[in-house]
Structures are given as structure tokens and as C-alpha cells.
């Protein structure tokens, strides 16, 4: 794998170099379509040149509302080649959330996909204060959208119009330290924050992931995560490009169709975030579970019994630790893995464990995970238009992640939980992670989330658990309370249990607890006290 010097560490330079190296060799597979390294370079050049002709300048913001398809890469890389800043927006955003992130980005151009995204965009168009023009994205394999389908108050053009521009490399000076993306954080605990990322952040992440996962031109990487998320963009798609591998792009994650795709495309490597591995693990066993080409999965978190998972599916799990602001900062050692650890910091950042006074904790003592870069421009530069959000987290020259962890004598990091993921119940701090682990052990449970809601006095909190059952399973709230009571202190038994058909999630399969907490105790939530359930104090 080629390592690039600083002056070449931009999307445009690397895409052009890979196209010259590999030409017509296939890079992207989408359903029955194939695209070469050369195709991606030429099509993204066309987008870049068209945007420049429309007035997009270096540093301008361009928001996109797009689903997974080859055209996403043309647009994303085309924006990067202009020196503009790509603002990928979660397809699920709508209403006030959509208005907030678009307005806060200062973008004057939006690229919106025809269909659901365009419908949502149209509904809030009168509240968008900066947008001046909209480019309508569509599958090039289908017909160009008609004027009546667009129906916007803004001037508009279509993706097919943009692709009439020159395929030559645009003449724009872009540097490795220039911003290339505003990535909105997941918003699991509050409103999304826009982390401004330079080209070097993206290149460094792709490079380190390829090195630690030992990715080669023989690898076939599978991406089922949304391309508006960094997991789909950088950790899979651009890493595959950087490592000279092939990329298989799926429309979305489908637990039933996942293994069919792995077999059909002969996939060797994939990424898992959030609850993806747990959902795969809970699928009914098949005799051929371990008879695939898949050999390695880069993942956070790992299933509780990861050795059993590896044996069942014939794969190697590599756990990591990171977050949007600093990227991935630890990788578990490939040759000598420490089970349940997220590995050692050996990819450009120092990682330590601090106490509440910013003093380093001794080995195996829990504290907050803090990060400091050893190279320039490999962490985010700011939260766009939210300076107050960074002040409390960048202290004494260290980025404070808000995560609790510990480190052993060898420097292996062990993630414990988010600092916020605890509930104060009757004077006791309850780890929501721990109660979720207990609930998930019940054979009828597919997945769950735990959190706190204000108690009757308004001084502390009561514990609530949101639960999704496995298809065909039955379980009563009383039975689940009995299950919990066997293994936890009385104060950790949920006061409220709500059964749901599904839990709200981010694109990386993380459960959005802020949305669940906002709804609080609903009429269909089981109330332990009202039900007359008596806790044992023995």
C-alpha cells in the first residue's frame, strides 16, 4: 500500500493517483453494476467542474441528502476536489432537525436525492435561510426526474446535467490541512454537533485502518452502513480505495441478506458498529455459518462471547476505540489480541486515563479516556458554529472524550461506558450498560436500552428499560423483572419496562437514547409500582 507525503494527502491527489495506477480495474460493485478506479476519478471530476462553473468555491459548504448508491461517491469526491466542504446529512433527519443542521452549516447549495429525501427537504424549504440552489440527485440508471417531481422554490439542476462537465482534473489548490467535511455527531445524548474534519483526518483514518486490518488489493470490503456516516464513508469506502481493494456497496444493513451478500460477492472484510454483530449473532444458526470468504471484522463493540462468535462465523474480530472528533485511536493487536480490550494507541495519538483532576490514573483504575494528537491535523478542528461545546472538553491540551475506561500495564485500553450512561436511583449510581447486559441475557430479548426518567420527587431518577423481543417470542414485564432481580441489587430492577417493535438508531446502529428519554413513560409502559410488583431486599 502506498503511503503519501503531506503535499499529496488530499482526496483529489489520491483519487487521481489511484486512477493512474489501476485504470480500468474494478473498484466498486453495486448490485449488478461495476465501476473502475478510472470511472470514479472521471465522474467525480465532472461533478467538481460543474460545481465550480456554478460558483462553488474553496471553503464553501455543500450539504447532501443522499442514500447509498455509486452516485454518492461521484458527488462526495467531486465536492472534495473543488476544495469545498461536504456536509453529509442523515437521511432520517426531517422537520426542525433538518432545518437546524442545514441552516447551521451555512451551505448555499444542497444536493438532494429524488424521493423521500426530496419530499422531506421540500416540506421545510421555506425555513432554509441560506440555500440558493439545489441539485437533484438520481440514479443514472433511471430516467431524469421531471420538473413537476422537483417542485422547489429554489433554482435546480439534475445530476445528469452536472455530469456533462469536463472529466479533466479541476485546477484548484487543495491542502492536506484544509477542511473537507462537517460530520454531525450521532446525537445520542443531545443535538448533533458538526465536527469540522480536514483532508488529513480522513486520509490518516483510512491509512491506519488499512494498516491495522492488513487490507490488500486482494480484499473485498463490504459496506452496509449509510454513506452519510463516517463509518460508511471513511472506515469502509475510502479505506478500500486507499488500500487498492474492491468495495461492495449495499443499500442498507439487512440481517437476513447480509450473509447472502458476503457469499455472492466473496467478501473478505467488513465493519461493524453498534448492535450489528449482536443482530447477526441472534439469527438462527446455519450449517454453513463459517463457510464463507469473510475473514476479518473491524468492530465496536464486540459480542460478550467473542470467541464463540469468531468460531461460529469463521472470522477474526479486531476491536477499536474512537469517536468522530479524534477518529480511531486504538486497534487491538492482530497477532497477540487481548480479549475484551480495544488495543493499544499506536496510530498517531496518545491515549491516557485521567481522574477528575486531570491526573493520570494508575494501571487498571477507571477514569476518563483522554486523547492528544502527535501529528498535525489528524483530529477535528472545531464544532462548527458551536464553540461553547468544545471549551469544556479540550482541557490542559488533552481532548476529554466523555468516555470511561481503564488501561492495563501493557497499555491496552478497556472501554467501560459513556460517563453519562449512569442513572442515580435512591442514592445509588446504576450503570445502564450493566442492566442492559443482564436484560439481553434473557433468551426472548433481541435488544434493549436502559435509561433514566425523573422520579416522583423530581430529585433523582427511576430506571426504565426499552425492550425488543425476538420474532415469535413472548415475555411479560413481570417475567423480565424476575429475570433481572436474580442478578442485580433491588435498586437496579427497572421501575418501568416498555416493549417496542424497534428502537430508534443512528446510521451506525447506536440506539438514540435521547429520543427514548424524550418520550419518557408512555401509556403503554409497564409501571412496577402500579402493577404491585414487590422487590425482594434479601
The answer on 476 and 364 residing in a single domain is no
Whether pLDDT at 59 is above 70: yes
The answer on 361 and 485 residing in a single domain is no
- Helix (H) or strand (E) holding 318, with range, is strand 316-323
For residue 422, give the 3-state DSSP assignment: strand
Q: Is residue 65 part of a domain?
A: yes
Q: How far apart are CA 225 and CA 247, in angstroms?
A: 13
Q: Is residue 411 part of a domain?
A: yes
Pick from 15, 23, 17, 25: nearest CA to 45: 15
The answer on 354 and 502 residing in a single domain is no
What nine digits make up the cell of 231? 463509518
Pick from 434, 25, 486, 523: nearest CA to 246: 25
Q: How far apart are CA 147 and CA 296, in angstroms?
A: 47
Going by DSSP bridges, is the β-strand pair 156-158/133-137 parallel, antiparallel, or unpaired?
Answer: parallel
Average pLDDT over residues 178-192: 76
Pick from 407, 305, 343, 374: nearest CA to 212: 343
For residue 125, give the 3-state DSSP assignment: helix
Whether pLDDT at 282 is above 90: no
Which of 198, 230, 252 terminates a domain? The answer is 198
The answer on 349 and 307 residing in a single domain is yes
CB atoms inside a 10 Å sphere around CB 398: 18
For residue 190, give the 3-state DSSP assignment: coil
**What's the CATH code of the domain at 426?**
3.30.300.30
Range name among 125-129, 141-145, 152-156, 305-309 with the lowest pLDDT average: 141-145
The residue count for the chain: 538
- Three state DSSP letters for 138-191: CCCCCCCCCHHHHCCCCCEEEHHHHCCCCCCCCCCCCCCCCEEEEEECCCCCCC
The answer on 357 and 268 residing in a single domain is yes
What Cα–Cα distance (Å) separates residue 281 from each residue in 83, 288, 446?
43, 14, 10
Pick from 421, 424, 422: nearest CA to 458: 424
Tell me, yes or no, if the pTM score tops 0.75: yes
Rounded to a whole number of angstroms, the CA Rg of the chain reads 24
Which of 198, 217, 241 terminates a domain? The answer is 198
Burial of 435 (0-12, 13-18, 19+ CB in 10 A): buried
**What's the CATH code of the domain at 256?**
3.40.50.12780
Whether pLDDT at 191 is above 70: no
What nine digits make up the cell of 485? 432481580
Q: Is residue 535 part of a domain?
A: no
Q: Is residue 410 part of a domain?
A: yes
Q: How far apart are CA 494 and CA 482, in angstroms?
A: 10
Average pLDDT over residues 420-424: 73
Q: Is residue 452 part of a domain?
A: yes
Q: How far apart are CA 189 and CA 319, in angstroms?
A: 23
Q: Is residue 384 part of a domain?
A: no
Residue whose cell numbers read 460545481: 51
The answer on 176 and 57 residing in a single domain is yes
Domain residue limits at 101: 6-198
Burial of 257 (0-12, 13-18, 19+ CB in 10 A): middle
- In this predicted model, what pLDDT tens digit does every residue of 239-252 receive, in sequence order? 999 999 999 999 99
For residue 231, give the 3-state DSSP assignment: helix
Q: How far apart are CA 164 and CA 371, in angstroms?
A: 45
Going by DSSP bridges, is the β-strand pair 85-88/109-113 parallel, antiparallel, or unpaired?
Answer: unpaired
Number of domains in the chain: 3
The answer on 154 and 209 residing in a single domain is no
Range name among 61-70, 344-353, 414-423, 432-441 with the lowest pLDDT average: 414-423
Pick from 295, 289, 232: nearest CA to 266: 295
The answer on 346 and 229 residing in a single domain is yes
The answer on 492 and 367 residing in a single domain is no
Residue whose cell numbers read 437546524: 100
pLDDT, the chain, mean: 92
What nine digits make up the cell of 436? 442492559
DSSP conformational letter for 286: -
Range name among 24-33, 262-271, 273-282, 352-361 with the lowest pLDDT average: 273-282
What nine digits make up the cell of 531? 402493577
Residue 116, φ and ψ in degrees, nearest 5: -60, -45
Q: Residue 414 in contact with residue 408, Cβ under 8 Å?
A: yes
Q: How far apart are CA 158 and CA 513, in angstroms?
A: 37
- In this predicted model, what pLDDT tens digit does every residue of 249-280 receive, in sequence order? 999 998 889 999 999 999 999 999 877 888 88
The answer on 412 and 266 residing in a single domain is yes
Q: Is residue 381 part of a domain?
A: no
Q: Is residue 351 part of a domain?
A: yes
- Residues near 506 by beta carbon (within 8 Å), at least 6 away in sequence: 90, 186, 187, 188, 229, 274, 512
**The pLDDT of residue 495:** 95
- In this predicted model, what pLDDT tens digit does every residue of 466-521 receive, in sequence order? 999 999 999 999 999 999 988 777 778 999 999 999 999 887 778 888 889 888 89
- Residues near 217 by beta carbon (within 8 Å), at least 6 away in sequence: 243, 244, 245
What nine digits make up the cell of 116? 423521500
Average pLDDT over residues 187-201: 80
Which of 168, 198, 228 terminates a domain? The answer is 198
The answer on 407 and 261 residing in a single domain is yes
The answer on 29 and 174 residing in a single domain is yes
- Helix (H) or strand (E) holding 306, with range, is helix 306-313
Amino acid at each position: 500500500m502506498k503511503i503519501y507525503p503531506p503535499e499529496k494527502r488530499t482526496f483529489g491527489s489520491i483519487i487521481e493517483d489511484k486512477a493512474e495506477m489501476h485504470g480500468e480495474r474494478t473498484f466498486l460493485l453495486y448490485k449488478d453494476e461495476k465501476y473502475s478506479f478510472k470511472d470514479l476519478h472521471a465522474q467525480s471530476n465532472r461533478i467538481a467542474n460543474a460545481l465550480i462553473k456554478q460558483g462553488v468555491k474553496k471553503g464553501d459548504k455543500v450539504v447532501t441528502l443522499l442514500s447509498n448508491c455509486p452516485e454518492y461517491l461521484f458527488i462526495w469526491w467531486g465536492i472534495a476536489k473543488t476544495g469545498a466542504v461536504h456536509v453529509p446529512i442523515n437521511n432520517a433527519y426531517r422537520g426542525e432537525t433538518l432545518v437546524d443542521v442545514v441552516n447551521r452549516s451555512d451551505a448555499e447549495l444542497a444536493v438532494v436525492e429524488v424521493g423521500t429525501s426530496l419530499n422531506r427537504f421540500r416540506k421545510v424549504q421555506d425555513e432554509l435561510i441560506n440555500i440558493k440552489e439545489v441539485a437533484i440527485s438520481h440514479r443514472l440508471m433511471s430516467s431524469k426526474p421531471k420538473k413537476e417531481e422537483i417542485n422547489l422554490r429554489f433554482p435546480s439542476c439534475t445530476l445528469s446535467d452536472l455530469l456533462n462537465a469536463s472529466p479533466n482534473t479541476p485546477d484548484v489548490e487543495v491542502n492536506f490541512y484544509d477542511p473537507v467535511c462537517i460530520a454531525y455527531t450521532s446525537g445520542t445524548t443531545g443535538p448533533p454537533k458538526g465536527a469540522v474534519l480536514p483532508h488529513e483526518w480522513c486520509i490518516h483514518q483510512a491509512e491506519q485502518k488499512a494498516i491495522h486490518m492488513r487490507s490488500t488489493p486482494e480484499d473485498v470490503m463490504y459496506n452496509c452502513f449509510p454513506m452519510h456516516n463516517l463509518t460508511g464513508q471513511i472506515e469502509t469506502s475510502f479505506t478500500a480505495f486507499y488500500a487498492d481493494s474492491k468495495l461492495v456497496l449495499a443499500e442498507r444493513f439487512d440481517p437476513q441478506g447480509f450473509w447472502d451478500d458476503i457469499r455472492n460477492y466473496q467478501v473478505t472484510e467488513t465493519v461493524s458498529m453498534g448492535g450489528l454483530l449482536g443482530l447477526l449473532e441472534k439469527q438462527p444458526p446455519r450449517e454453513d455459518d463459517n463457510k464463507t470468504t469473510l475473514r476479518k471484522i473491524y468492530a465496536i463493540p464486540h459480542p460478550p462471547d467473542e470467541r464463540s462468535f469468531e468460531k461460529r462465523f469463521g472470522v477474526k474480530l479486531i476491536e477499536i476505540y474512537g469517536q468522530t472528533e479524534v477518529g480511531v485511536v486504538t486497534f487491538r493487536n492482530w497477532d497477540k489480541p487481548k480479549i475484551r480490550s480495544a488495543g493499544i494507541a499506536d496510530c498517531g495519538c496518545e491515549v491516557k486515563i485521567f481522574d477528575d483532576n486531570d491526573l493520570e490514573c494508575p494501571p487498571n483504575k477507571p477514569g476518563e479516556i483522554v486523547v492528544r494528537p502527535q501529528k498535525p491535523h489528524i483530529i477535528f478542528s472545531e464544532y462548527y458554529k458551536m464553540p461553547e461545546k468544545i471549551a469544556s472538553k479540550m482541557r490542559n491540551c488533552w481532548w476529554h472524550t466523555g468516555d470511561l475506561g481503564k488501561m492495563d500495564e501493557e497499555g491496552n485500553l478497556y472501554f467501560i461506558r459513556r460517563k453519562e450512561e449512569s442513572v442515580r436511583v435512591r442514592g445509588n449510581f446504576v450503570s445502564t450498560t450493566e442492566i442492559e447486559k443482564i436484560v439481553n441475557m434473557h433468551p426472548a430479548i433481541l435488544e434493549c436500552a436502559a435509561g433514566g426518567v425523573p422520579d416522583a420527587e423530581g430529585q433523582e431518577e427511576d430506571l426504565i428499560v426499552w425492550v425488543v423481543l425476538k420474532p415469535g417470542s413472548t415475555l411479560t414485564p413481570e417475567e423480565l423483572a424476575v429475570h433481572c432481580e436474580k442478578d442485580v441489587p433491588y435498586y437496579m430492577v427497572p421501575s418501568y419496562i416498555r416493549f417496542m417493535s424497534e428502537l430508534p438508531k443512528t446510521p451506525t446502529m447506536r440506539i438514540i437514547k435521547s429520543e427514548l428519554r424524550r418520550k419518557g413513560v408512555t401509556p403503554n409502559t409497564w409501571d412496577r409500582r402500579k402493577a404491585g410488583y414487590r422487590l425482594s431486599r434479601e
